[in-house]
Amino acid sequence: MSVFEGFKFRSASSPVHQLDPRVKFFYVCIVFAVAVMFNKLLPLLLLFLIQIPFILVAGVQREWIRSMKGASVLALIIFTMNFVFSYFMPASVPGVEPPIDTPLEYVLIFERSLTMTFRFIVLVESFSVFFLTTSPDRLSLALEQSHVPYELCFAFTTAVRFVPVLAQEAQTIMDAQRARGLELERGNFVKRVKNYVPILIPLIVNAIRRSLELAEAMESRAWGASEKRTNLYVLKMKKEDYSLILLSLIMLVSAIYAWLFIPIPSLTTFLSF
Amino acid sequence: MIEVKDAFFAYPNGIEALSRVSLTIRNGEFVAIMGQNGAGKTTLVKLFNGLLKPTKGEVLVDGVNTRKVSVANLARKVGFVFQNADHQLFCETVEEEVAFALRNFGFKEKTVRKRVSWALNLLDLTEYRQASPFMLSGGERKRVALASVLAWNPKVLILDEPTIGQDHQQKDKLRQFIVQLNAQGKTVVVVTHDVEFVAECAPRVVLMAQGNIVADGSAEEILTDRDLVTKASIVSPQITQIFLELEDLGLPNKVINVHDGGRVLLNFLEGRLHERV
Amino acid sequence: MDAFCLVVVSGRALAVIETKSLTYTYAGRTEPSIQDVSITIEKGEFVVLTGPSGCGKTTLCRCFNGLVPHFYGGKLEGELVAAGLKVTEHPISELALHVGLVFQNPENQLFALSVEKDVAFGLENIGMPRDKIRERVDWSLEMAGIQDLRDRAPHELSGGQQQRVAIASVLAMQPEIMVLDEPTSFLDPLGAQTIFEVISKLNKQLSITVILVEHRLDLASKYANHVIIMDEGKVVLDGEPRKIFSSEEARLIGVGIPKAIGLYQVLEQGGIHLRSVPLTSEEAYQLLREVLAHD
């Protein structure tokens, strides 16, 4: 579960935390676009490194490393799959022709697989920073101001609000059933799955009861009283937000320019082939 | 029966819930563990059936160290009724629900059926045998939870805040039921902040505050001690509050319930009458 | 103060809730949960509503702000006027501005990720302008005594703190009437006392009419100036606290009569008469002192 810690919001007051979520999301989208544009390793490595300052400024290194650790398993799978795929379908990699017998060709396939893996890593990296530095409250506000229907935003914050409550309830239910002799750790696979029924049913039933109580409380606080719902807080764009937008656009334009006009050296040039 | 020796308990996030707690509960005792919400009462009783293991020190149940055996093993001897019955109800019928633990412990089907009938009868639930537990009222669901624990006849019965949400008559019935169980030899441990409930049955009281046991004695001694009551942030029974204010008139001050209070006053006034005569 | 002046001027206090033969049956049931309920609650009163489990008090509470019948459906007969509005003719979102309802479980009435946002929730719903919301939130937090909890997340709070947030959230809409359905069920006695003190303050300082459903009469009855006892869907006793709690009927219904009154009754039976019926331990020992120090 520790990989999820790499995406959970951490309260702090760094400049990155203060940025408007919509702008941060725009930035993440640009990163995604740039990552998808290139097939060579070098630009992706650059993209990976460019985001490190953000992580350091936000002070979320420890949590970010956890998300990277969690992603490493998937990254390995992606690398292996790409390597195998490129080996059997070399037409996708320029400069490689079957049969694959020269070291150069191996390096090219290796580079391609590494590039694909880094695409994934760069994405995880930027999303991790996004969620680590954006509180669910601000995220919901950003959604609201982006004209997402309020019901959905409310469902989102309520869900986040109750995650720790449900987690604790699940623990209590497990304790209660263990105290009646239920052994969750023993038995074969089928038995273990069956053993979770006494945990899931109370959890679900209580969740339904809880949502009924919540609905009553919502109604009692004038839910739906007005078509034009106001908000205690409002997101206003500051100069830091505009700076990030500018930075993202510069990144995008440079990337397009590089993609169109600059031949990017592959790994092979550095390995003196 | 249950021995707690210098036990400490800290949650994974570092919060220390119990610090150097020592306690012995003998067979057949009736003990009320009292204190403010957050004093560590529930944490303490979870050590008794192994749901929590002490981070330092040890807990022995019938001579066996709780660290060495599973919860299921300890649960056979120590029954735990949780505060919220809805945290355990999951079966299609009340019968299944009461049989659940019995089947977990490996009882033979014939015995299971007998025990279920016995438990349902004890808690006045026989008419609901085939009913769905989810369709019953709050009070009835609590009784189903209690029946499902009593069914396997554990030597010790722990009840965590059994009076929450109950009306006066339900509390009375529960109190009488618990007293009767104890009279029949069962060791009963009640975790509660309900002073009036405790004042009516006057068990041994273990008073906790901030993870420590601050007092261990009779209900009359503890609930009438102003300093202890303040230290543990609890409230004295209403009758006690009255008698503590009348101390200077020479009245006994270890009174905790209406019945005793009335008797004391009437005797006192009668005595005065005789004096004058 | 308001109610007092009105009495002097018009000779009759304002009824803020009035029901006539109110009967309600939940959808899918055959028996009504409340039957023939006719009560009058005057502005500024502190009403304690009690009775055995299942007597209908929770259902009655939900009638006051329109959850019954608008949320629950079912069949509502008779009349109910709350804060001048006929409950059947106005939506819950409108009634909520006049009748606030605080529920039993503190956890399930807080939705937001901070106390401040929760208190603002109702005001946001009605579309109040931002700066006015801020003012109200500040005021409400102060009234409930929880200014220091402003930025905290609800999950970190104790049950008592959560209930105060719930009260502040309802108070923010400045309703004339506040209904509280067993708000201290999950709290220990000290926590319960704190809640009652906050409610009493709102009742005295802001003249908010309070309807408190409670089993813990030992702690709650001293604040009441009007008691209603229900049993099996009907209102059985309705009037002045001391008279009702010391009555035989109350004892037979089985409500948890305050211990001070229990003592009073035991003494009565033994031939000792106190000057008046005590509701609290303070009143009891003062009255006893009179009798005991007589010589």
Domains of chain C: 1-98+175-241 (3.40.50.300), 109-174 (no CATH), 258-295 (no CATH)
> What is the predicted pLDDT for the residue at B219?
93
Residue C13 carries which DSSP code? Answer: P
- Joined tokens for residue A227: 């078509």
Confidence band of C36 (pLDDT split at 50, 70, 90): very high
Q: What pLDDT score does B277 carry? A: 59
- Residue A63: what pLDDT? 82
CB contact under 8 A, C108 and A214: yes
Determine the distance from the C-alpha atom of residue C76 to the mean position of all C-alpha atoms in its chain, rounded to a whole number. Answer: 22
When comparing pLDDT for B275 and C183, which is higher?
Answer: C183
Residues of A within 8 A of B82 (CB-CB) are 172, 175-176, 179
CA distances from B98 to A83, A209, B129, B133, C145 (A): 57, 23, 9, 10, 46
Q: Is C247 helix (H, G, I), strand (E, B) or coil?
A: coil
A5 pLDDT above the threshold of 70? no
- Over 70: is that where the pLDDT of A3 sits? no
Q: B-chain residues within 8 Å CB-CB of A197?
A: 90
pLDDT (0 to 100) of residue C58? 94
In a shared domain, residues A259 and A128: yes
Cβ distance C126 to A220 less than 8 Å, yes or no, reads no
Look at residue C9 and tell me whether its pLDDT is greater than 50. Answer: no
- pLDDT for res C157: 93
> Long-range contacts for B49-53 (Cβ within 8 Å, ≥24 apart)?
B49/A179, B49/B74, B49/B75, B49/B78, B49/B80, B49/B158, B50/B74, B50/B75, B51/A175, B51/A178, B51/A179, B51/B80, B52/B9
State how far the Cα of A220 lies from the Cα of B173, in Å rounded to an integer: 35
Q: Which pLDDT band, with edges at 50, 70 and 90, does B146 fall under?
A: very high
Position B32, amino acid: A
Using CB atoms, which chains have 3+ pairs under 8 A with B?
A, C
How sure is the predictor about C4, in pLDDT bands with cuts at 50, 70 and 90? very low
């420590």: which residue's tokens?
Answer: B212
Of B36, B167, B268, the CB nearest to C190: B36
**Beta C85-86 vs C46-50: how paired, if at all?**
unpaired
**Number of domains making up chain A:** 2
> Quick one: chain A helix, strand, coil %, rounded to 5?
75, 0, 25
Rounded to 10 degrees, the C-alpha dihedral C281/C282/C284/C286 comes to 160
- Average pLDDT over all residues of chain C: 91
Asked, for residue A106, whether it belongs to a domain, the answer is: yes
Higher-scoring residue by pLDDT: B224, C295: B224
Are A10 and A96 within one domain?
Answer: yes
Q: What is the mean pLDDT of chain A?
A: 86
Residue A120 shares a structural domain with residue A19: yes
Burial of C40: CB neighbours in 10 Å, binned 0-12, 13-18, 19+: middle
User: What is the span of the domain harbouring residue A212?
Assistant: 141-220
The DSSP H or E segment spanning C61 is: helix C57-64
A-contacting residues of B 174-203, CB under 8 Å? none
> Does residue C6 register a pLDDT over 50?
no
E strand segments, chain A:
none
Q: Is there a single domain that holds both residue A169 and residue A258?
A: no
Distance in angstroms (rounded) separating the CA atoms of residues B247 and B238: 15
A70 in a structural domain: yes
Please give the interface size between B and C, counted as residue pairs whose CB atoms are below 8 Å apart.
106
Sign of the C-alpha dihedral, residues C33, C37, C42, C48? Answer: negative
Token output for B31: 């003990």
* CA-based end-to-end distance of chain B: 55
Please state, in angstroms and as integers, the Cα–Cα distance from residue B246 to each residue in A263, B273, C29, C210, C247, following that order.
98, 19, 54, 34, 27
The answer on pLDDT for A268 being more than 80 is: no
Nearest CA in chain C to A167: C155
pLDDT score of C3 more than 80: no
Residues of A in contact with C155 (CB under 8 A): 161, 164-165
Locate the chain B residue with the closest alpha carbon to C271.
Answer: B266
Residues A31, A126 contacting (CB under 8 angstroms): yes
Give the separation between CA B73 and CA B26, rounded to whole angstroms. Answer: 20
pLDDT tens digits for B52-61? 999 999 999 9
- Count of helix runs (H) and strand runs (E) in chain A: 13, 0
Contact check, Cβ <8 Å, C255/B166? no
> What six digits make up the tokens of B201?
């049955």
Establish if A228 belongs to a structural domain: no
Q: What's the whole-number mean pLDDT along residues B223-228?
A: 93
Count Cβ–Cβ pairs < 8 Å, chain A vs chain C: 110
C267: chain B residues, CB-CB within 8 Å: 262, 265-266
pLDDT value at residue A272: 64
Does residue B249 sit at the C interface (CB-CB below 8 Å)?
yes
Query: Per the CB < 8 Å rule, is B148 touching A180?
Result: yes
User: Does residue A123 sit in the same domain as residue A206?
Assistant: no
User: Who among A154, A219, A227 is closest to C67 (CB)?
Assistant: A219
CB contact under 8 A, B265 and C272: yes
Poorest-confidence range of A140-144, B80-84, C181-185?
A: A140-144
Q: Residue A69 corresponds to which tokens in the numbers above?
A: 């650790």
pLDDT at position A70 is: 82
Taking 50 as the threshold, does the pLDDT of residue C214 lie above it? yes
- Regarding whether A125 and A39 lie in a shared domain, the answer is yes
How large is the average pLDDT for residues A172-184?
93
Which residue in chain C has the smallest CA separation from A228? C127
Mutate to test the interface with C, among A153, A157, A220 (most CBs of C within 10 A): A220
Q: Which of B170, B249, B276 sits opposite C53 (nearest CB)?
A: B170
Residue A56 pLDDT > 70, yes or no?
yes
Q: In Å, how far are A17, A18, A52, A55, A210 from A65, measured between CA atoms?
A: 18, 22, 11, 10, 36
- Number of residues that this document lists for chain C: 295
With a cut of 80, say whether residue A97 has pLDDT above it.
no
A17 in the same domain as A94: yes
For residue A106, what pLDDT is reported?
80
Which pLDDT score is estimated for B268? 86
Q: State whether A229 and C133 contact (CB < 8 Å).
A: no
Return the closest-CA partner of residue A81 out of A113, A44, A118, A39: A113
Q: For residue range C150-159, list pLDDT tens digits in order.
A: 999 998 899 9
The closest alpha carbon to A36, from A113, A115, A144, belongs to A115
Contacts of C153 in chain A (CB under 8 A): 161
More confident residue, A124 or C48: C48
Whether A180 and B82 lie within 8 Å, measured CB to CB: no
Residue A42 and residue A175 in one domain? no
List, edge to edge, every strand of the sheet that includes B2-10: B16-25, B2-10, B56-61, B64-65
The residue among B252, B99, B120, B119 whose CA lies nearest residue A180 is B99
Burial (Cβ within 10 Å: 0-12, 13-18, ≥19) of residue B106: exposed
CA distance B38 to B17: 8
Q: Mind telling me how many Å the CA of B20 is from chain A's nearest CA?
A: 24
Is B89 touching A (CB cutoff 8 A)?
yes
Q: Is A188 among the domain residues?
A: yes
User: Hey, are the CB atoms on B87 and A182 less than 8 Å from each other?
Assistant: no
Q: How far is CA C16 from CA A193, B103, C19, C21, C198, in A?
A: 57, 57, 10, 17, 21
| Whole-number Å distance between alpha carbons of B261 and B239 | 7
| Residue of chain B whose alpha carbon sits nearest to that of C289 | B246
Residue C11, pLDDT above cutoff 50: no
Q: How far is A205 from chain B (nearest CA, A)?
A: 8
> To 5 degrees, how large is the angle CA C220–CA C223–CA C229?
60
Tell me, yes or no, whether A9 and A110 share the same domain: yes
CA gap B145, B48 in Å, rounded = 19
Query: Mean pLDDT over residues A175-196, rounded?
Result: 89
Q: Interior CA angle at A125 toward A122 and A128, to 5°?
A: 150
State the amino acid at position B77 in one-letter form: K
Q: What is the pTM of this model?
A: 0.89
Please name every residue paired with C101 in a beta bridge, in sequence order, or none if there are none: C179
The whole-chain average pLDDT of chain B stands at: 92
List, as own/partner pairs, every contact residues C196-202 make where C-beta atoms lie below 8 angstroms and the sequence separation is at least 24, other chains included. Answer: C196/C220, C196/C223, C198/C144, C198/C145, C198/C164, C198/C167, C199/C46, C199/C167, C199/C223, C200/C46, C201/C143, C202/C143, C202/C167, C202/C171, C202/C178
Q: Which residue of A has its CA nearest to C130?
A: A232
First-residue to last-residue Cα distance in chain C: 42
Please state, as a whole number, how many other Cβ atoms lie within 10 Å of the Cβ of residue A19: 23
Q: Mark whether A125 and A256 lie in a shared domain.
A: yes
Task: Report the distance separating Cα B77 and Cα B64, nearest Å.
Answer: 11
Distance CA A141, CA B35 (A): 42
Closest CA to B189 of B12, B55, B24, B19: B24
C152-170 CB burial, b ≥16 within 10 A, e <16: bbbbebebbbbbbbbbbbb
What is the tens place of the pLDDT at every residue in C56-108? 999 999 999 999 999 999 999 999 999 999 999 999 999 999 999 999 999 99
Amino acid at C172: A
pLDDT cut 70: percent of chain A above it: 95
Residues 180-219 of C with CB under 8 A from B: 182, 185-191, 193, 215, 218
Position A2 confidence tier, pLDDT thresholds 50, 70, 90: low
Q: How confident is the model at residue A55 (pLDDT cuts 50, 70, 90)?
A: confident
Rounded distance between C-alpha atoms, residue A137 and residue B94, angstroms = 43
Residue C7's pLDDT is 43
- Asked which of A106-115, A242-251, B85-94 is least confident by mean pLDDT, the reply is A106-115
* Average confidence (pLDDT) over B183-208: 94
Residue of B34, B163, B167 to mutate, interface with C, max C Cβ within 10 Å: B167
pLDDT at C207 over 60: yes
Residues A98 and A161 in one domain: no
Q: Report chain A residues whose CB lies below 8 A from the CB of C131.
A: none
Neighbouring chains of C at 3+ CB pairs under 8 Å are A, B
Residues of A with CB under 8 A from a CB of B: 169, 172-173, 175-183, 197-198, 201-202, 205-206, 209
Taking the C-alpha atoms of residue C129 and residue C141, their distance in angstroms, rounded to an integer, is 18
In Å, how far is A217's CA from the nearest CA of chain C? Answer: 5
The whole-number average pLDDT for the span A169-181 is 94
Residues C194-199 have a mean pLDDT of 96
pLDDT tens track for C101-130: 999 999 999 999 999 999 999 999 999 999
- Pair A209, A248 in one domain: no
In a domain, A225, yes or no: no
Tell me the ipTM for this assembly: 0.91
Match domain B2-223 to its CATH number in 3.20.20.140, 3.40.50.10470, 3.40.50.300, 3.40.47.10. 3.40.50.300
- With contacts defined as CB-CB under 8 Å, which chain C residues touch A134? none
Under 8 Å CB-to-CB from C291, ≥6 apart: which residues?
B269, C272, C274
Partner residue facing A202 (CB), from B70, B87, B149: B87
C-alpha distances (whole Å) from C95 to each of A222, C137, C165 are 8, 20, 21
Task: Find the closest chain A residue to C131 by CA distance.
Answer: A232
Long-range contacts for C137-145 (Cβ within 8 Å, ≥24 apart)?
Answer: C137/A232, C137/C172, C139/C172, C140/C168, C140/C169, C140/C171, C140/C172, C141/C115, C141/C116, C141/C168, C143/C168, C143/C171, C143/C201, C143/C202, C143/C205, C143/C206, C144/C168, C144/C171, C144/C198, C145/C198
Please compute, for residue C124, the number of CA atoms within 13 A of its CA located in the half-sphere on the CB side: 19
Does A262 have pLDDT greater than 70? Answer: yes
Handedness of CA A251, A257, A258, A259 (dihedral sign): positive
